[in-house]
Amino acid sequence: MSLARAAVLLGVWGSLQAFEIVEKENIFQRTPCPAFLMFDNAAYLADMSFELPCHCKPEEVPAVVWYYQKHLGSSHTTILTDFDGHVLTEAAHVRVGSDLLARFSIRMFSLLVFRAQPKDSGLYFCGTRKGDYFYAYDVDIQSGEGMVATFKDLGQEPFSDEYRGGLRVFTTFWEWTPCDRCGVRGEQWRIGLCYLQSPDLSPRFLKTLPDVVSCGSRAVPRKLQALAKDHTPELLVQSCMEPCQNVTTVRRGVMAILNYVSKVGRRPWVPPVPIQYHQQRLGHGLIISCPGARPEHAVAWDKDQQGFYRTQYLKGVNRSMRVFIDHGNHLHIRFTQLDDRGTYYCWRQGVRIAGFRLGVTSGGRYKVSFSDPEVRSALELTLIGYLLLTAVFITIHLCRCCCYLFRCYPSFSP
């Protein structure tokens, strides 16, 4: 018995050792704040969303306050948070034209900016409500207007570096996106932003490489910014081919009547992806957005069996294009025509996620088309419901007739 007790105690002690709780390391304890405030350079393309973490703060500070300045030393400073450091904003509620104060959020000491615009470029400070700064960023938001697209399949090459005296202007490319389609020929691209190298930069700004910052950084003197303003962001595009993953998607939320109808008859047509139906006036413009897509995502558009490839449909390839894709992954249709009717499918990160069925009308009244699956399903359900009600009505009257016959002509035993 004593040996058994000893074995049990050893087992319990070993279990306690195996499930020992280890506290998560506090990054603020191992990241001391710099004695002299420096600015961390970061560059993004317009309409992108980004996060600025506050990498250091004293442990006795329970909440941080974020500040914004357009230029270093400016007398106008904007406070981007309440003094408790709690501001929550959902990205889905943010619009393109909204002000900066309506497009940011504070979460776990980090500043999140949604759909950034070139006017948001400037200096962002992480500090206290008293105005003490701990960490700072130099953010450069570069406009997508005038972006140059380079297609590797056509033998095109990106712009070469520009040298103007001691100034070097070049493009720094991000990583390649995933293939935007699967199972068929797709495309992938990488975004390139403008950077420059010069020994005349301000020493207060942190640099990944020696004397290298983005072209719109506050570390660049104004005379050098004027020399680099003509170097626009670039987009490098190439073809790709990826197989589709064999993933079975279980669709939920189907009504019980559809399940019953599928047992007694033919199951109504159900699209492979969610489809939205829209009627558009003839000759009016239309912009279609892919749900949940951002400018840095790999997004593709198809119409029925036709693929819209950026080699032919990217904005700026042809100035006379009526249908094109902009740099924010939106599909534009100018002056809607009758042959624009059809189903437009959206791919995001190589997966087809949504459809957009477009109908074109010549007048203001809505015209019902029996070619729409939704209309056919509604008619089928209406007809089946009518037949069920008719069967119930006939059954009730048959029962009443039987009761009447048995009551009027009772049976007599001999």
pLDDT in tens, 298-311: 999 999 889 999 98
Tally of domains in the chain: 3
Q: How far apart are CA 1 and CA 3, in angstroms?
A: 5
In a domain, 8, yes or no: no
Confidence of residue 380 (pLDDT cuts 50, 70, 90): confident
Shared-domain flag, residues 60 and 130 = yes
Shared-domain flag, residues 130 and 154 = no
Q: Where are the beta strands (DSSP E) in 251-373?
A: 275-281, 286-288, 299-303, 306-308, 323-325, 331-333, 342-348, 351-361
In a domain, 378, yes or no: no
Lowest mean pLDDT among 60-69, 352-361, 393-402: 60-69
Residue 69 confidence (pLDDT) above 60: yes
Single residue among 87, 122, 141 that ends a domain in this structure: 141
Residue 97 confidence (pLDDT) above 90: no
Shared-domain flag, residues 290 and 222 = no
Q: 327: domain CATH number? A: 2.60.40.10
Please state the pTM of the whole predicted model.
0.67
Shared-domain flag, residues 45 and 130 = yes
Confidence of residue 249 (pLDDT cuts 50, 70, 90): very low
Domain limits at 187? 148-241
Q: How far apart are CA 125 and CA 218, in angstroms?
A: 14
Mean of pLDDT over the chain: 78
Q: What per-residue confidence (pLDDT) applies to 58?
A: 76
Shared-domain flag, residues 31 and 137 = yes
In a domain, 386, yes or no: no
Q: What mean pLDDT comes out for the span 280-307?
A: 89
Q: What per-residue confidence (pLDDT) applies to 196?
A: 93
pLDDT tens string 104-123: 777 778 888 888 889 899 99
Shared-domain flag, residues 124 and 159 = no
Single residue among 343, 367, 391 that ends a domain in this structure: 367
With H, G, I as helix, E, B as strand and everything else as coil, classify residue 360. Answer: strand
Lowest mean pLDDT among 201-215, 267-281, 300-314, 364-378: 364-378
Q: What per-residue confidence (pLDDT) applies to 134?
A: 85
pLDDT tens string 8-40: 444 444 443 443 333 444 444 455 676 678 899
Single residue among 241, 261, 290 that ends a domain in this structure: 241
In a domain, 119, yes or no: yes
Shared-domain flag, residues 199 and 295 = no
Q: How far apart are CA 90 and CA 216, in angstroms?
A: 28
Q: What per-residue confidence (pLDDT) applies to 409?
A: 57
Q: What per-residue confidence (pLDDT) applies to 37?
A: 85
